[in-house]
Amino acid sequence: MVDQKITQCMKPHGEEGIQTIRNMNENHKHISEFAFECIDINENDRILDIGCGGGVNIEKFLKLTTANVDGLDYSEVSVKASIKQNQQAVDNGRCNIIQADVSDMPIDNDTYDLVSAFETIYFWPDIGETFKEVFRIIKPDGRFMIAQGTDGTHPDDEKWLATVEGMSVYNALQLKEYLLNAGFKSVKIFKKENDYILVVIAKI
């Protein structure tokens, strides 16, 4: 059962995937709220949310910038849910939801001012190379924000890692090393006091 739930989190699909997205929208609220406290959004920032799930973070970003806010997910169910959540912005041309793999994104170099990844990098393939792909699509002086519900010391980490093949959990220092190796110039680390939430912001 746990394996099935995590598989749905990796790539929501079918009717169960729709419910999984609803659950993620609710259960990840506290992670999202802390992440938004850690990042300053400029009113003209063009933003991409990778692993956009149900699109709730896209909706938040749209309220903070006048530029485009796009989403990317490799789950068809997630893409449809994100479009539905942000239908008006999609219809107005302010939001485009792309179905694609983060390791090979159909996006031009230097496109976004900010790229975000909420509760998703656990499932990214070859994290070092994938961070280079993210680096490629960010503009000079742009930023990449990672938000996750574990700082690498959560008591449930080992259970998830033992259950799910291909899942990885990273601590702050590991992420910093991968990001610097990918080309980012500086990395800031934020941890929520008395919690396991970790937010990492890398700048080009």
Q: Would you place residue 12 in the very low, low, confident or very high pLDDT band (cuts 50, 70, 90)?
A: very low
Torsion angles phi and psi, residue 21, rounded to 5: -65, -40
- Dist CA 151 CA 191 (whole Å): 8
- Please report, for the chain, the start and end positions of each structural domain, with discontinuous segments joined by +: 2-203
Output the CA–CA distances (angstroms, integers) from residue 54 to 27, 49, 120, in the order listed.
Answer: 12, 11, 13
The domain 2-203 is classified under which CATH number: 3.40.50.1820, 1.10.3210.10, 3.40.50.150, 3.30.70.250? 3.40.50.150
Rounded Cα distance between 74 and 62, Å, is 21
Which pLDDT does position 179 carry in this prediction? 98
Write out the chain in H/E/C secondary structure: CHHHHHHHHHCCCHHHHHHHHHHHHHHCHHHHHHHHHHCCCCCCCCEEEECCCCCHHHHHHHCCCCCCEEEEECCHHHHHHHHHHCHHHHHCCCCCEEECCCCCCCCCCCCEEEEEEECCHHHCCCHHHHHHHHHHHEEEEEEEEEEECCCCCCCCHHHHHHHCCCCCCCCHHHHHHHHHHHCCCEEEEEECCCCCCEEEEEEC
The two tokens of residue 155 are 């008591």
Mean pLDDT, to the nearest integer, of 108-117? 98
Q: Are 71 and 102 in contact (CB under 8 A)?
A: no
Mean pLDDT of 136-155: 90
Residues 6+ apart with CB under 8 A from 143: 39, 113, 114, 115, 201, 202, 203, 204
Task: Quickly state the pLDDT bin for 6 (edges 50, 70, 90).
Answer: very low
Confidence at residue 184, expressed as pLDDT on a 0 to 100 scale: 98
Rounded percentage of the chain residues whose pLDDT exceeds 70 = 80
How many other CB atoms sit within 10 Å of the CB of residue 106? 9
Please state the pTM of the whole predicted model. 0.85
